[in-house]
Chain A
Amino acid sequence: MSFAEPLTLRCGAVLRDYTLVYETYGTLNAERSNAVLVCHALNASHHVAGTYEGDPKSTGWWDNLIGPGRPLDTDRFFVIGVNNPGSCFGSTGPTHINPATQQPWGVDFPVMTVEDWVDAQARLCDALGIEQLAAVIGGSLGGMQALCWSMRYPSRLRHCIAIATAPNLSAQNIAFNEVARRAIVTDPDFHDGHYLAHGVVPKRGLRVARMIGHITYLSDDTMDAKFGRTLRAAIGAEVVQRSGSPRYTTLDIEFEIESYLRHQGDKFSEYFDANSYLLITRVLDYFDPAREHDGDLSAAFAAATARFQLVSFTTDWRFSPARSREIVKALLDNRLDVSYAEIAAPHGHDAFLLDDSRYHGVLRARFERIAREIDAGSHADLARPGLGIAT
């Protein structure tokens, strides 16, 4: 969908006109009260569920959660997936033409923030005729968007579901992002961010960026269980007895984990835009709603009225449970409705994309409750603040 109305960004720049690519699933009811917005994280897109016709491999990134009969049931809800501007799956972004120069934006694409994204998403909702969303849901960076919705457009959502997220990134988290960015910008093919004009892509940098990211999304235990110290040559029955003997090479792949990371990096570098990666890691870095309130996160949520559901995973060290508890505390301080589940899943940050039954159980219960509210038609008075527990 194209938007002609300029979007003023936090950085001061203005996107004069822009396109948002989105997908919807299910049917919007007559009262327009059953819409759920799904916010994507770093490298995902508007394609949240299902497959495209004739392409059985094109499964949506949150297909285990969203679909007919799934916890977020598309037979009951009207689900919206939208690609955020600055990303690289069709919405206006660095690979698109800058109207001022008639060249690809490249690295000159304005730096976005979570707030800008949420503003763009709100306009999409306007265009779809949805005044109030039944829920906004997201994990990781997507969770930040859900939280931002509750602060920025409090009357436009009834439930805010934020999973494996944080009120801001820690220094360590920013540090990981910076390593990824440096890998990209120091790639000789980066050409100061205008690699498209040179007909190349800084794939080496993208690969390394993805590798470091991937390490941080997994837990130590998962990696150990999945790969351990297994040598790559030891795969296959006949060479098993060789498993104790390394080849003593510094350049070749020796351990299984190396092979896995390289494969992930290769795959990623084929489809993701380097400038989008730089930009979206910055979106993460800049998110800090408490900053405008002298670091007081509770004050940042003062306007919020939504009912919150937070979920974290015990082995997630990139968006740890402690960070979710900070959010819970801020919501408690504002006497907002909040439920918080801390799932003892082994998979690290990646757990939010997996289908752990405890995790999906609480989400299913929440969406069933939201569906009941919609069926009861009681949603009109549900956005009141400080309502406490109520069905």
Chain B
Amino acid sequence: MSAGNDLDLIAGLVPTGSRVLDLGCGSGETLAYLRDRRQCTGYGIEIADANVLACEQRGVNVIQLNLEEGLAIFDDQSFDVVLQIDTLQHLRNTERMLAETARVGRIGIVTFPNFAHWPNRLSVIRGRMPVTKALPYEWYDTPNIRVSTYADFEVLARRCGLRILDAFGIQLGAPVRLCPNLLASVAVFKFERA
């Protein structure tokens, strides 16, 4: 499956030796990968007890916080890279968190499921909400409170005063640079404060 390759592709955007803040770090897999293969240091932020425990078991620094309360404990530009891997769609205050990401990190990297991927469009044309590998939930039980498209994010990034440094889609573990809004299930953006 693509998860391992997705991680390779995303990690490839993180400079070796970076100080990294991973917002919504889950079980700490990404941070452990960056530590072991790219000599990175840093911290994860997580709200779920089970994930905090998993991070502790991996030996990854984890700070249990609710991202909706903001990143006040982190100083401006105190990290080389701030990651939001599959976190954006769970946050109520998307815009503010994006601004916070750009404030705290010199580089921000955001990934999220691309709602405009063609099978999703097909599903909607057929009259049903999509249920796919990237969007595996029924509409009534999804934890994703914000669904958006690759193209939507470009607009929001501009609105938030972000300069996009790199952007592509990921489909089946491979990067998609041609028509990612149509052809990729995952959107990846690397940006800095303009």
Known contacts being A342-B64, A358-B49, A362-B53, is A390 close to B59, with CB within 8 Å?
A: yes
Min Cβ gap B103→A in Å is 15
B35/A390 in contact, CB under 8 A: yes
A340/B62 in contact, CB under 8 A: yes
Could you list 26 examples of A-B contacts with CB < 8 Å?
Answer: A328-B63, A328-B73, A332-B43, A332-B74, A338-B61, A338-B63, A339-B52, A339-B61, A340-B63, A342-B64, A343-B49, A362-B53, A366-B56, A368-B57, A369-B56, A369-B57, A369-B59, A386-B41, A387-B41, A388-B19, A388-B40, A389-B32, A389-B35, A389-B40, A390-B35, A390-B41
Point out the residue from A328, A339, A343, A386 that lies within 8 Å of B56, measured CB to CB: A339
A361 within 8 A of B: yes
B-side interface mostly:
mixed
Q: How far is the CA of A344 from the CA of B49 in the complex (A)?
A: 9
A325 within 8 A of B: yes
Known contacts being A329-B73, A332-B73, A338-B63, is A365 close to B57, with CB within 8 Å?
A: yes
Min Cβ gap B60→A in Å is 5
A365/B56 in contact, CB under 8 A: yes
Min Cβ gap A266→B in Å is 38
Q: How far is the CA of A365 from the CA of B50 in the complex (A)?
A: 12
- List A326-385 residues whose CB lies under 8 Å from chain B: 328-329, 332-333, 335, 337-344, 358, 361-362, 365-366, 368-369
Q: How far is the CA of A335 from the CA of B65 in the complex (A)?
A: 18
Min Cβ gap A381→B in Å is 15
Interface residues of A, Cβ cutoff 8 Å to B: 309, 325, 328-329, 332-333, 335, 337-344, 358, 361-362, 365-366, 368-369, 386-391
B53/A342 in contact, CB under 8 A: no
B56/A338 in contact, CB under 8 A: no
Cβ–Cβ < 8 Å partners of A328 in chain B: 63, 73
3 residue pairs, one from A and one from B, having the closest CB atoms: A388-B41, A365-B56, A391-B59
Min Cβ gap A325→B in Å is 6
